[in-house]
Structure formats: structure tokens, C-alpha cells
Structure 1
Amino acid sequence: MVRLPLSPAEVERGRRLGALIRRARGERPMLETALSAGVSPETLRKIESGRVATPAFPTVAAIADVLGLSLDEVWAEISGPTGGRQRAAVPAHDPRARLSS
């Protein structure tokens, strides 16, 4: 199976996710955190370092649960300054443009 290259936005989300997990884990040992979440320590290490920029949702959910993070908190952190909401570009002459303001 050929995996498509990640976009710059996906790479940045992976970096943000890794930083969030490292901060939330604090001084807690990586091994303890990984085993509590049901993932391998190597998987957690790769996510924290940003080498796995798009981990599976169940993996993120399990790690977040162990660290006491809500998925809303995770999404807010990784989605960047827009808070996860990006407005689609709508031409000014389109009637929908008035609705999105």
C-alpha cells in the first residue's frame, strides 16, 4: 500500500499533538502512560516526537483518557489558531457569503 505524503497542515497538527501529550504527561513515565493507554511505548514515543502525525483516533482517545484530557481539549490544541473552525471560501457574489459572516 502506498501512503501519500502528509500535507504541511497534517505535519503541524502532529507536532501540536505530540507537544500536548508531552505536556500533559509531565513527569509521568512514558512506559506507564503507554501501557495504561494500551499502546506500545514506541508508538507513544513516535506520537510525542511528531513522527506519527496522524495516529488512529482510538489511539489518541486512549492516550487522552489516561492523561485526563478531553477530546475537545485535544482538538482545540491541534487545530490551531482557528480553534478547529475554518471558514470555507465563498465568492462574495454567492448568497451564502452573507450567511457566513
Structure 2
Amino acid sequence: MVRLPLTPEDRERGRLLGEALRAARGERTMTEVARAAGVPVETLRKIESGRVPTPAFFTVSAIAAALGIPLDTVLARCATPAEDDAARSA
């Protein structure tokens, strides 16, 4: 299977996802959250830093559940400016 190259928008969305998850984590350690989500700490670290801009859905879902935030909230926080503009015009 050939994977398409990531667009700048994909990378920005990944950065926004990382920021949102980091902010939601608050004072909790990465180890605490990773353990609660059932993912490796390094995976959480890479997502939070934006090094994995397109993590698997179930990984994001597990992290969001561990943080107690709905996926709709995560999605809203990851909308790029172009997506925000498109949503407002629709």
C-alpha cells in the first residue's frame, strides 16, 4: 500500500491535536495518561509533539477517553484555519 505524502494541512492538524491533548493532560504525567489509555508513553509523546501528525483513530480515541474529553471536542480543537473558514461558509 502506497501512503500519500502529508500535506501542510495534515501537519498543522497534527500539531493542533498534540497541543489539544497536551492542554487536556494538564498536570497529569504522560506516564499516567499513557497507562490509562493503554498506549506506550513514547506514542503519546510523539503525538503531543506533532511528530505523528496522523495517529490511528483508536489511539486518539483511547487517549481522549483517558483524558475525559469527547472526540467532538478533540476534533473542534484540531480544525485548521482553512477548515474553520469552510465550516463558517457552509
User: Does TM-score exceed 0.5, indicating one fold?
Assistant: yes
Provide the aligned C-alpha RMSD in A.
1.9
| Residue 38 of structure 1 pairs with residue 42 of structure 2 | no
Aligned partners of 1:84 and 1:18: how far apart in 2? 22
Mean CA deviation greater in 52-61 or 71-80 = 71-80
1:68 Cα deviation after fit? 1.0
Normalising by structure 2, we get a TM-score of 0.87
Q: Which runs of 4+ in 1 moved over 4 A?
A: none
> Which protein is bigger by CA-based radius of gyration?
1
Judging by fraction of residues, say which structure has more helix: 2
User: Do the aligned partners of residues 32 and 9 (structure 1) sit closer, same or farther apart at CA in structure 2, a change above 3 Å counting?
Assistant: same
Number of equivalenced pairs: 88
Normalising by structure 1, we get a TM-score of 0.78
User: Do the aligned partners of residues 84 and 37 (structure 1) sit closer, same or farther apart at CA in structure 2, a change above 3 Å counting?
Assistant: farther
What letter is aligned with 1:9?
E
User: Do the aligned partners of residues 83 and 73 (structure 1) sit closer, same or farther apart at CA in structure 2, a change above 3 Å counting?
Assistant: farther
CA contact (8 A) 2:9 2:80 kept: no
Aligned partners of 1:5 and 1:12: how far apart in 2? 14
What letter is aligned with 1:65?
A
Matched-pair identity in % = 59
| Residue 80 of structure 1 pairs with residue 88 of structure 2 | no
